[in-house]
A and B are shown apart, each in its own frame.
Chain A
């Protein structure tokens, strides 16, 4: 990796996280590691936000797992152009799993708008190999071919050791369908798949898994205009993998744009909720979150799953969203005032109420043996929406408090 030509002052980046159509729950992992780093200037962007100029003020866009085809379709050519403009003006694109597939060269409809990176994937096949388990997560149709997933769970990766990352290191990171890649320029490779672990789950014959993964790129870095793309096959942002997290954030900090638009004052255009208003808002939101959590916990005991688009969702994924919000409620209660846009608090409570209704509908559907796919599809959309709305308020308020502290 080339080193920067000038020293830059450390600053908190403005980070956009994609939460729109096709996004699964894993964007919440990005949220967690950014929060640990104190990077509170987070925005949660849907496909509409991206198309409508939501990237203009951003330093970084993080796109995590989900359904690549659905993301590409939702963004469309306009979204692709916006993304391209963002990167070429100096923005940093962090793509993990589905987010890594998105900007790779492809001739397939919708994906062909995102031909930003000339890397190839090594898990593309005309003939599907024999599957050894987790059939529903094994492969995805790709035109006349298939993308297959040789293994899942923790794999070993080794970094290339190029500056500024010092010596090569080896650690583990979880692979949930992300790509193994090959590139023509070896300097683009930041890390390769080097081994499996005792936790690796083989979905194909081990020899084929070795051929598909080992020695191929797990992470690549490509330059585009003034900006960069970092593409991660495994989920380096998964909060249980601290070495992978560190690598991801070091790489991110290295490729931040030199200049950024000055930070907005978080108070601008916001209403401040305090005292009984804040208490009432938190209670109303917490009520619905609790109602949802209780049903969702019960749903985890039943063997129910849905294929939405090309992605399989188990009931356990519902609570990943809900717990991400629940674990932050306490600090929300404890900390000072809350910053909301006009009507945003009511909208959040209403959306949370719809989440509860949908989860309860799924439970009733299960009890009455009726199909719940439609409700589940709506539910996961609502979960993304509720989480993005809540976390938007949460981080805006945290940023406000940290700005206040700095002023003092």
Chain B
């Protein structure tokens, strides 16, 4: 596979510490396109070994607006279904440039380990020093040891180590939208974290036309007023959920976008510092980056203040537990004090409704039925590597246009029929 790919699939056996590499076969790409299409295929191939499969879409890391997504595919301990969890912020992009298109993790390590994935090299390293650390301390430790602050860390906290069904794989210091309990799978495999950094390059088959099309696309999308609003509150409103603007505005310090995503869907709130501060805060942990709409909505409905919600979600992120599940369960038990809720983390158990009814992590849609259109757009996002919230908002990014761009970038032809088949396979 020459274009938009590193042409490498790593098969990591944690039990034997053996790593093998396969080429990314063009026929597989023609058949399954990429992203969740291929992670699902690889999952099925290694299903008896209960694998965790990571990958990126064909367009991830490119100039296509919103091309930020990576994906983790595995069997959810919460739902028992083969499910897909999004990797946003810079994690998907960094995985794309790491020198591997897909990584299959199978087996169980005999002691805690972490994976260091960089420039086409995959190392299995001992994680004795990391086990027991919360996600923040583990991220700090890895970045300090490796000497780089841009390393993306997909890791678990104590929830995953202790086998909670609600355990989440976090992205650096922040929450992912892992509703599926994939953090438990990491813990079961003695895998504390994956550290990812890539300085690779992607070849594009028709670079000039590809760039022109991307520029034209972004210009068109920019005319859509919905795409001009920034922040997690605006993203929630754009998805048809409650507008969280009034709730969050007094604490909002800044908004932050995922890689090459024109709408910032993340908002940093200051809970311990004046949000109007325009210089670096002297407070070690001034606040928290809100990356997940779902728990915010539930916590607001449960009567928590934005500050308490922020404090609680930070605790969830550190402990590596799904904030949406915590929000749902604490609302049911009537707890509203973040400190008390935090004390209950070790004993929290599902089932929870926040896992949704789909194979994709629900970002919002609390209590609402997952509809067909939502699910199809999610599938397209996970297959091609587009930010799943952004793709709901940017309706100008049609399937036809995205398939054209994938074809232009790879010198291959992808038809709507193939896309239908891949989506059908993922949703089966």
Contacts and interface: CB of A to CB of B under 8 A. Distances in A.
B395 to A, nearest CB: 37
B120 A298 contact: no
Interface in A357-372: 359-360, 363-364, 367
B121 interface: yes
B150 A286 contact: no
B148 A294 contact: yes
Contact of A290 (B119, B144, B151): B119
Most buried by A among B121, B146, B147: B147
Nearest to B199: A293
A295 B147 contact: yes
Contacts of B121: 283, 286-287, 290
B120 A294 contact: no
A297 B144 CA distance: 15
A286 B149 contact: no
A294 B197 contact: yes
A321 to B, nearest CB: 15
B149 A294 contact: no
B147 A363 contact: yes
B213 interface: no
A291 interface: yes
A147 B151 CA distance: 44
B146 A294 contact: yes
Contacts of B149: 298
B123 interface: yes
A48 to B, nearest CB: 31
B84 interface: no
B118 interface: yes
B147 A297 contact: no
Contacts of B123: 287
A360 B199 CA distance: 17
A136 B344 CA distance: 59
Contacts of B118: 290-291, 294
Contacts of A291: 118, 146
A298 B148 contact: yes
Interface in A267-301: 283, 286-287, 290-291, 293-295, 297-298
Contact of A360 (B120, B146, B150, B197): B146
Interface in B136-163: 144-151
Given A293-B199, A294-B197, A364 B119 contact: no
Given A286-B120, A290-B119, A291-B118, A297 B146 contact: no
Contacts of B147: 294-295, 298, 359-360, 363-364
A367 B199 CA distance: 23
A298 B150 contact: yes
Contacts of A287: 121, 123
A117 to B, nearest CB: 43
A360 B148 CA distance: 8
A50 to B, nearest CB: 35
Interface in A224-271: none
A291 B147 CA distance: 9
B177 to A, nearest CB: 27
B99 to A, nearest CB: 8
B103 to A, nearest CB: 16
B281 to A, nearest CB: 18
B148 A367 contact: no
A364 B149 CA distance: 11
Contacts of A283: 121
Nearest to B197: A294
Interface in B87-127: 118-121, 123
Contact of A293 (B119, B145, B151): B119
A287 B121 CA distance: 6
Nearest to A356: B147
B199 A294 contact: yes
A354 B146 CA distance: 14
Most buried by A among B120, B123, B145, B150: B120
Contact of A367 (B120, B144, B197): B144
Nearest to B200: A290
19 contacts: A283-B121, A286-B119, A287-B123, A290-B118, A291-B146, A293-B119, A294-B118, A294-B146, A294-B150, A294-B151, A294-B197, A294-B199, A295-B146, A295-B148, A297-B148, A297-B199, A360-B145, A363-B147, A367-B144
Interface of B: 118-121, 123, 144-151, 197, 199
Lowest 7 A-B CB distances belong to which pairs? Answer: A290-B119, A360-B147, A295-B147, A363-B147, A298-B148, A287-B121, A290-B118
